[in-house]
Structure 1
Amino acid sequence: DRNGAMISSIHPETNFLLNYNKNKAEKETIAEKVLEIINEGELIAFSGGSTTYMAAVALEDSSFQNLTIITNTVNIAQRLLESRKSFKIILTGGIPREGFYECAGSIAERVIRQFNIDKFFMGVNGISPEGGFSFFDLEEAEIARTFLSQSKQTYVLADSSKFDSIKQIKVADFSEVTGVVSDHISPKYRALFEENNLEVK
């Protein structure tokens, strides 16, 4: 425990399907808020995870038609390709992580670096003042950093269970992202985010 933040690196990372069914209503709330951030005609990016997946799924029933979407995540790309939308989908390629659908490695990073992305939507495993936005997996963290470096704006998507939790790998400080989208943000975190000029959704 570090000032109330649980250092939970000893707990194993759970796979996509287990995460998908956890806090589902909260993730659906986040997905609806994401639709309010996107503008027609933008190039947007999604990293992996159940929360970003639900945000991508929400695009199927949205009014958007003209979006370019880049992702390193096979199930997000597949879901959007199967929708009736005329979105342009770019899958980075790379080496998929078993059980997680996310591609990582130098191939994916090279592809991401070719794009000037308007908005990047990033799922995270932990959020805390000490650990910033953190991840379990090193290769996944590297992909997130690459997306972040190529994006004009980065929004962290996190349900309230991710707060006060530190994972092994820090991806970004609070000041390095544009905003945080969550089902519930406590007064403590709202104040911290506003101190760092973050949008709170």
Structure 2
Amino acid sequence: MLTEEREEYILNELRMSRTVKLHQLMQKLDVSESTIRRDLSQLEERGLLTRIHGGAKLNYHIDKEPTFDEKNTINNSAKLSIGQKASQMVNKGDVIYIDAGTTTAKIIPYLENKPSTVVTNGLLQAYELSQNGYQTILLGGKIKNTTQSIVGISAQTQLSQYVFDKAFIGINGIHSDFGLTTADEEEAAIKSLVINRAGRTYIMTDSSKFNKVSFCKVCNLDEVTIITNKLEEYVSDDFIESTTILEVK
């Protein structure tokens, strides 16, 4: 087996199991200990794993949050499909919450006048909802410029007065160990509060957010249902026991 093939095997095992054992790799790949150690060293030098006693563990890093404009140009077709799928979760007369973000905004064109009331902390969402005639409540508070969202104590206080049938939330990172994370503690506080006030919460995210970690934890995987585009098999295996994933085919 070529070096590149062994390295790809090792990385796939790490994606599925988070850690690998030296002796197991030797048996599976039918190579010597020195060969596996050399492979692990090369992968570590490239920042893809960290060697530990008797094996290695998968690396992760805390992602930097892109700007609103950058987000708005990424994976747009996938986001539209996710928005259409998410809209199917809304029933006539529902009171729903739509989080700020470029993915969550994609649910609005498909709502078909089903919700009776929509609450949001997104400036873009509030504008589009009001333009389409929805009964819309925009939270009051501080504007976070990079995400065009309302955050802060005033928004949290207002949120604590509401209860939602369903909530649709955006997220920065989804990880099997660290749960759902976002880049800003004030946004994390808003998202966490909404999840606690909703009968059911749907995370709307494209598959690029899986196996990523941001600064602030929002919730555990088992608290939400995730709507996303088609996942690689090794990714879905990591999460299938912890949460419900609805994939847009």
TM-score normalized by the length of structure 2:
0.72
Which one of the candidate residues 241, 246, 249 is aligned to 1:195? 241
8 Å CA contact 1:137–1:169 kept in 2: the answer is yes
Q: Distance in 2 between matches of 1:188 and 1:33?
A: 23
Partner of 1:115: 162
The residue identity in structure 1 corresponding to 2:183 is: F
- Which of 53, 56, 67 in structure 1 is aligned with 2:105? 53
Task: Say if 2:94 and 2:114, in contact at 8 Å, map to a contact too.
Answer: no
Q: 1:99 to 1:110 in 2, by over 3 A?
A: same
SS in 1 for 2:88: helix
Q: Secondary structure at the match of 2:112?
A: coil
Are positions 1:75 and 2:124 aligned together? yes
Q: Paired residue for 1:186?
A: 232
SS at 1:49's partner residue?
coil
Residue 93 of structure 1 aligns to a residue whose secondary structure is coil
- Of 83, 97, 103, which residue of structure 2 is paired with 1:31? 83
CA distance in 2, matches of 1:25, 1:67: 28
TM-superposed deviation, 1:4: 4.2
CA distance in 2, matches of 1:20, 1:44: 23
8 Å contact 1:5–1:165 — kept in the other structure?
no
* Cα deviation 1:56-102 (Å, max 9, x = unaligned): 2x23xx4325431001111110111112x3x2101111100113210
Structure with more contact order per residue of length (Cα contacts < 8 Å, sep ≥ 6): 1
Q: Identity over aligned residues, as a percent?
A: 26
Task: Quote the residue 2:40 is aligned against.
Answer: none
Decide whether aligned partners of structure 1 residues 66 and 52 sit closer, same or farther in structure 2, where only a CA change above 3 A counts.
Answer: closer
Larger Rg computed on CA atoms:
2
Secondary structure of the corresponding residue to residue 236 of structure 2: helix
Within the candidate set 132, 152, 157, 2:199 is matched to 152
Write 1 or 2 for the structure with the bigger share of helix. Answer: 2
Letter in 1 for 2:98: F
Equivalent position amino acid for 1:184 in 2: K
Q: Which residue of 2 aligns with 1:7?
A: 61
Whether contact under 8 Å (2:142, 2:152) holds in the other structure is: yes
CA contact (8 A) 1:126 1:163 kept: yes
Question: Is the Cα contact below 8 Å between 2:176 and 2:239 reproduced in 1?
Answer: no
1:119-130 correspondence runs (5 A): 119-130=166-177
* Structure 2: 5+ residue stretches without partners: 1-47, 50-56
What's the C-alpha RMSD, in Å, of the aligned pairs?
1.8
Q: Distance in 2 between matches of 1:125 and 1:69?
A: 23
Q: Distance in 1 between matches of 2:228 and 2:160?
A: 28
Segments of 5+ residues of structure 1 without an aligned counterpart are none
Task: Check whether the contact 1:190–1:200 (CA below 8 A) recurs between aligned residues.
Answer: no
Query: Map of 1:136-147 to 2, 5 A cutoff?
Result: 136-147=183-194
Equivalent residue letter for 1:146: L
